[in-house]
Chains A and B, each alone.
Chain A
Amino acid sequence: MDIDDILASVDRNDVSSPESAVLDHQLLTRFWVAERGVSELLPWPEALMNRMMGRVRKQIETIEDLAASSSDPASNNSNNNPNINLKLSILQTDLSRTQYLLRCILRQRLSKLTKHSMHYLLRVSAASSSQHPDSQINTDQQQPEDSIPDLTNVLDPSPLSAQELAFLRAHQTLLAGHFGASFLSSFPAQLRRLDDNAGGVSMVQGPDGREMVFVRCLVERVAVVVPPGDGVEVETMGTEMRMGDVWVVRWEGVRGAWERGEVEIL
Chain B
Amino acid sequence: MAFPLPRGITPPEISFLAEMEMVTILPRQRLEGLELLGGPVEPLLPPRRASLPLWLALLLKRQRRANILPPPWLHPESLSLILDIETQHHEYEHTFSPPPPLPGQPSIRDHGQRPVAVPRYTPDGGRYYPAPPFLPQNVAQDHIPAGEPPSLPFHWLEVGTMLLDAASDDLVDPDQTRRLLKELREVRTAKIRSGVDVLDTASTGGGGVALTGVGAMEVGEGRGFIAGVIDGLRKIGASKEQARREQMAEDMANGGYGATQDDDDDMEF
Contacts and interface: CB of A to CB of B under 8 A. Distances in A.
Interface of A: 4-5, 7-9, 11-13, 15, 18, 20-27, 29-30, 33, 36-39, 45, 47-48, 51-52, 55-56, 59, 62, 83, 86-87, 89-91, 93-95, 97-98, 100, 104, 107-108, 110-111, 114, 210-212, 214, 216, 218-220, 224-226, 229-234, 236-239, 241-250, 253, 260-262, 264, 266
Nearest to A110: B2
Max chain A C-beta neighbours (<10 A), residue from B38, B124, B205, B260: B205
B9 A248 contact: no
Interface in B144-188: none
B234 A249 contact: no
B45 interface: no
A111 B252 CA distance: 41
Given A236-B260, A238-B263, A22 B39 contact: yes
Nearest to B114: A220
B2 A97 contact: no
Nearest to B227: A212
Interface stretch (B69-77, B80-88, B240-248): B240-248
B190 interface: no
Interface residues of B, number: 85
Given A33-B9, A45-B124, A264-B131, 19 more contacts: A4-B119, A15-B123, A18-B40, A26-B130, A29-B134, A86-B31, A110-B2, A111-B2, A214-B219, A218-B102, A230-B249, A231-B246, A236-B206, A238-B206, A239-B261, A243-B115, A246-B212, A247-B211, A249-B202
B61 to A, nearest CB: 13
Contact of A226 (B30, B205, B246): B205
Contacts of B249: 230-233
A260 B16 CA distance: 26
B208 A238 contact: yes
Given A21-B39, A231-B246, A51 B206 contact: no
A87 B134 CA distance: 23
Contact of A29 (B2, B17, B41): B17
